[in-house]
Structure 1
Amino acid sequence: MAGAGLTVAVTGPTGDVGRALMRALERSRDVRRVKALGRRQIDPAAEGWRKTDYLRGDVLDRDAVAELVDGADVVVHLAFAIMGAPGERGREVNLTGSRNVFSAAVRAGARRLVYTSSVAAYGFHDDNPPLLREDLRPRGTDAHAYSKAKAEVERLLAETTVGSATEVYVFRPCIVAGPDALMLIGNIPYVQLGDRMPSAVWRLLDAVPVLKPVIPDNGISFQLVHHDDVASALRAAVLGRGGGGVYNLAAHGTLTMRDLADDLGWYSIPVPELAVDVAAEMATRLPFVPEDAQWLNALRVPMLMDVSKAERELRWRPRHGVRETLRATIAEARAAQLLR
């Protein structure tokens, strides 16, 4: 049941999901106070965060984490080094940092602990079922660091919280998109097409349609989810709706590479199964997609999820369709002059 006057602690408040969640918590009448921990210098007032006390720090700092969770009814852990961090540093943030947060939440007696994992935790395996459901064990894929780390952190969460009174929610969203996904530029190694090609070439591409880029279409369907819809599911967990457990998150509908090309105004060509890697590689060249985000292997292996559990138990309904989410992301990329 929802509880009035909750104090919520959040790690990773400045990412795409983080910003969306902070807006949702600020609007919630059931949330009295938010405590947020992040590495960036942030002015809460400038962000419109009136309920938020912002702590500048790192999840590797146990004292900072302890200060964050002190007095918190709910702890939401979003901080995760997806890419850009030097090898061992990134792994330390993901594993040691997550352990610090999970352990501190249990010690502090938090009522609920909410963790955002990923569809990548299931692993990119040829023997995955056609539709992934929450009772499938997260195997990860050793060859892909992001997938492996997401599965490892889920196992770490289970080990850290076993036997505790803290109720645990785990969310596995598919590829998260939307305008806020572009706010991380500058800290992530984006491939910016506008920096690779002079303006004269762009004018030529605009004037001669046949020269527009071509995306290989391997026919594999994939899912997107808007960051605001992920935030609404997280807010439901913060309020204790539905009960703890694992929940898949995806917008209604699916996309193919052809859909992506159509909305970009580019061309697509069908490719044989052997060229699946080419299509996924092409997607990583888009300026609004982090090139090292290894969940793009979902374009190589079908990774479609059943989201009926979240709809049934959390009463969650994604407000943004998959095509709407894609178009909003592309529009923001063009507004930011990352796409022409």
Structure 2
Amino acid sequence: MAAAAPLTVAVTGPTGEIGRAFVRALERSRDVGRVKALGRRQIDPASEGWKKTEYLRGDVLDRDAVEQVVEGADVVVHLAFAIMGAPGENGREVNLTGSRNVFGAAVRAGARRLVYTSSVAAYGFHDDNPPLLTEDVHPRGTDAHAYSKAKAAVERLLSEMTVGTHTSTYVFRPCIVAGPDALMFIGSIPYVQLGDKMPAAVWRLLDAVPVLKPVIPDNGISFQLVHHDDVAAALRAATLGRGRPGIYNLAAHGTLTMRDLADDLGWYAIPVPELAVDVAAEMATRLPFIPEDAQWLNALRVPMLMDVSKAERELRWRPRYGVRETLRATIAEARLSQMLR
């Protein structure tokens, strides 16, 4: 029996924290012969060590560029997204119109598989979420959280645009993606900058005590991390057609709290009442002058823990990195990059 021809894979967003790890995984795969990548940054594939990858600088809002990168692809992997729910119309356009452009081009090109990376945020930050989120839970999003709302909307769009076609779809919902290529985790809301919204009384207390290290507020909510290389491994499995098409949660084994984060940073953690987080999140929802990235405060109001047994069973996916190992690798790289002083 003749061996299958190597795949041609089109990738949008190849220079993000997941994108770089994923392209590296494709470069190592014998089943992939060609990678066509579309990204907004100016990079040289050779300097990245990419030998199979042809890089086109462009934007998913440019339909001609999208059609060019998708043409001839067996598999299309859509990673491009405005991570923080970027303020202004352009962020919404990238997330919704850009995704529509990619999905439409993939279907018209007759791609065998379309792989989309969504997020745990697609479930929405709701008080009535189950203690452990499975893929059967409907992705409702949260209207007050731009990123969450957009992720749920794009999942609906993907379903609508591929129903009745010959293109099978895989949707991945990773938790917070961390690792050396994902340094934005360290400085992002809600994990460190929640301190900007701490009650004034708490800050006055801290001001009265000699504090030599930064402080992270801790309301006791647990969260998950996943290493970008482990996300890339799951994406590669879908690209190669492993398992059944469908939706898959991704998270490393174990959970963390803010206190764990503070311990590994060598910082202090101070308990913050749950009410204080609720009030700050409500402010972020209602006040028009609050920056849009402050909406991440909503993520601290309820636990967002996922069951990943489906990915382990269907895709034979096993995360190589535990949650604490992932956190420490991120911190170590951040310190090398002088993000943490």
Task: Establish whether TM, by shorter chain, passes 0.5.
Answer: yes
Q: Following superposition of structure 1 onto structure 2, how do residues 100-111 of structure 1 map, counting pairs within 5 Å?
A: 100-111=101-112
Deviation at 1:271, TM superposition (A): 2.8
Quickly say closer, same or farther: Cα 1:226–1:271, change in 2 above 3 A. same
Alignment-derived partner of residue 227 in structure 2? 226
Q: 1 CA distance for matches of 2:113 and 2:94?
A: 22
Alignment-derived partner of residue 40 in structure 1? 41
Alignment-derived partner of residue 177 in structure 1? 178
**What is the CA deviation profile of residues 179-230 of structure 1, one whole-angstrom value per residue up to 9, with x for unaligned ones?**
1013899xx99x999xxxxxxxxxxxxxx98421222221110000010100
Quickly say closer, same or farther: Cα 1:216–1:28, change in 2 above 3 A. same
Determine whether 1:241 maps to 2:242. yes
**What is the CA deviation profile of residues 79-99 of structure 1, one whole-angstrom value per residue up to 9, with x for unaligned ones?**
001238441111011111100
Determine whether 1:335 maps to 2:323. no
Q: 2 CA distance for matches of 1:306 and 1:330?
A: 26
Alignment-derived partner of residue 96 in structure 1? 97
Alignment-derived partner of residue 157 in structure 1? 158
Alignment-derived partner of residue 70 in structure 1? 71
**What is the CA deviation profile of residues 263-287 of structure 1, one whole-angstrom value per residue up to 9, with x for unaligned ones?**
0111122232213359999xxxxxx
Amino acid in the other structure paired with 2:317? W
Quickly say closer, same or farther: Cα 1:212–1:120, change in 2 above 3 A. same
Amino acid in the other structure paired with 2:237? A
Work out the number of aligned pairs and report it: 315
Q: 1 CA distance for matches of 2:145 and 2:231?
A: 24
Quickly say closer, same or farther: Cα 1:83–1:221, change in 2 above 3 A. closer
Is the CA contact 1:175–1:295 (under 8 Å) kept in the aligned structure 2? no
Identity %: 87
Unaligned runs of 5+ in 1: 194-207, 282-290
Quickly say closer, same or farther: Cα 1:38–1:170, change in 2 above 3 A. same
Q: Following superposition of structure 1 onto structure 2, how do residues 188-267 of structure 1 map, counting pairs within 5 Å?
A: 210-267=211-268
Amino acid in the other structure paired with 2:106? A
**What is the CA deviation profile of residues 106-126 of structure 1, one whole-angstrom value per residue up to 9, with x for unaligned ones?**
111000000000000000000
Alignment-derived partner of residue 203 in structure 2? none
Alignment-derived partner of residue 288 in structure 1? none
**What is the CA deviation profile of residues 249-305 of structure 1, one whole-angstrom value per residue up to 9, with x for unaligned ones?**
000000001101100111122232213359999xxxxxxxxx928556332211000
Alignment-derived partner of residue 322 in structure 2? 321
Quickly say closer, same or farther: Cα 1:110–1:294, change in 2 above 3 A. farther
Is the CA contact 1:38–1:55 (under 8 Å) kept in the aligned structure 2? yes
Alignment-derived partner of residue 139 in structure 1? 140
Is the CA contact 1:222–1:298 (under 8 Å) kept in the aligned structure 2? no
Q: 1 CA distance for matches of 2:56 and 2:314?
A: 33
Alignment-derived partner of residue 270 in structure 1? 271
**What is the CA deviation profile of residues 54-73 of structure 1, one whole-angstrom value per residue up to 9, with x for unaligned ones?**
11111111111111111100
Q: 2 CA distance for matches of 1:15 and 1:95?
A: 18
Alignment-derived partner of residue 14 in structure 1? 15
Q: SS of 1:260's equivalent?
A: helix
Q: SS of 1:180's equivalent?
A: coil
Q: 2 CA distance for matches of 1:267 and 1:48?
A: 40
Alignment-derived partner of residue 129 in structure 1? 130
Q: SS of 2:256's equivalent?
A: coil
Q: 1 CA distance for matches of 2:276 and 2:102?
A: 42
Deviation at 1:40, TM superposition (A): 1.3
Alignment-derived partner of residue 308 in structure 2? 307
Is the CA contact 1:124–1:140 (under 8 Å) kept in the aligned structure 2? yes
Q: 2 CA distance for matches of 1:61 and 1:184?
A: 29
Is the CA contact 1:15–1:184 (under 8 Å) kept in the aligned structure 2? no
Q: 2 CA distance for matches of 1:121 and 1:44?
A: 32
Q: 1 CA distance for matches of 2:75 and 2:325?
A: 32
Alignment-derived partner of residue 289 in structure 2? none
Q: SS of 2:46's equivalent?
A: coil
CA RMSD of aligned residues (A): 2.7
Q: 1 CA distance for matches of 2:93 and 2:131?
A: 33
Q: 1 CA distance for matches of 2:160 and 2:171?
A: 14
Quickly say closer, same or farther: Cα 1:279–1:268, change in 2 above 3 A. farther
Alignment-derived partner of residue 197 in structure 2? none
Alignment-derived partner of residue 200 in structure 1? none
Q: 2 CA distance for matches of 1:264 and 1:129?
A: 31
Amino acid in the other structure paired with 2:298? N
Structure 1 stretch 293-302 or stretch 210-219: which is displaced more? 293-302
Q: SS of 1:338's equivalent?
A: coil
Deviation at 1:3, TM superposition (A): 5.2
